[in-house]
Structure 1
Amino acid sequence: MSQKSRAFRPTANSLESRITMSATTVRPLVQPEVTSLAIENRATATSGTLTGRYLATDQDNRAADAPLEVNLNGAGKIQGLGRSTYTGTLNFGGFRLPNQPDIQGTVKISNAKGSITIQLSGSGGHSQIPNARFALNASIVSGTGAYTNLRGIGTANALFGKNTARSITPPSPIGGTLTLTLNLRPPIR
């Protein structure tokens, strides 16, 4: 019987083309899918300025326990939504528990793709409304259409212009221009 002699003879040239498994990293095949999902679901800021009008059919000299309902409407361009219109109401004042907001309301912002509803709250509800600025807390509470899952929290600034609604019989309404500036960011999860 003849046996062939086999001996291992390493050479530098033959080892350079080989990759050892212990020196490389193996990436899971799922990584590109997870990355693409993260990019698709990345939330964007909802910010911009809306201009329009405000109107309260009741007079601004209201009783301390009764909130004054102010109707809002207008249009503007919002980052994340584009050109949109808005309608809503803010209730100013009234009896509230201590340390609770005395300005509360909602604004619905709409366009052809859908709508979002923003809840607003803040303090200073017993102040005069014409020629006043109110810093409000804001959060997106619901959405429809393309904005069904859109969420955001942040601030809103409402700048009410001078009273241009005129009446000679009481109760005298108040109304004028309104600039609503939104700065909402996606919630951190």
Structure 2
Amino acid sequence: MSQPVKLKTPLTDEDVSRLKAGDAVSLSGVIYTGRDAAHKRITQAMAEGREIPFPLEGAVIFYVGPSPAPPGKVIGAAGPTTSYRMDPFAPTLIKNGLKAMIGKGKRNQDVKEAMQKHKAVYLAAIGGAGALVAKAIKEAEVIAYPDLGPEAVRRLVVEDMPLICVNDVNGGDLYQQGKDAYKKA
């Protein structure tokens, strides 16, 4: 396996354009968390012309509701959430500058088309390995919607978070590639 592509946030069109479905990625910098309830609030605020919790330009959203931080840790287990629940909101965020989403599972066609049109990618974190993913998180701070508990929006600082590019800006889809390879075998 080749060396992971190292990326640092905020991401640019050039950063995401060099990724191909199947590439290993090592992500560092500031990322934000959000699940479906937070996405609904963010897109509603955007529709009403109100300020949102973080700048979208070049941003990365991690679909996670981490467990409470044990003593001496900044965060508890931080395994990815199934991404399709954010599909109704993702195209709006992508159109407004979001460059990457981190989760698990497939995305719908509208999200894939928005990624191609506006140059964004979908990255997968290792499902079922929340403790491993949490090791890459160096800082965690709730920045919006604390009433959502674990699903509040957090600002995370990550260092060498291990990810895989699932959907790239050219329409590459790792899940489809896997199916196609199996059919040929």
TM-score (norm 1): 0.28
Larger helix proportion, structure 1 or 2?
Answer: 2
Higher relative contact order (CA 8 A, sep 6+): 2
TM-score (norm 2): 0.28
Q: Which has the larger radius of gyration?
A: 1
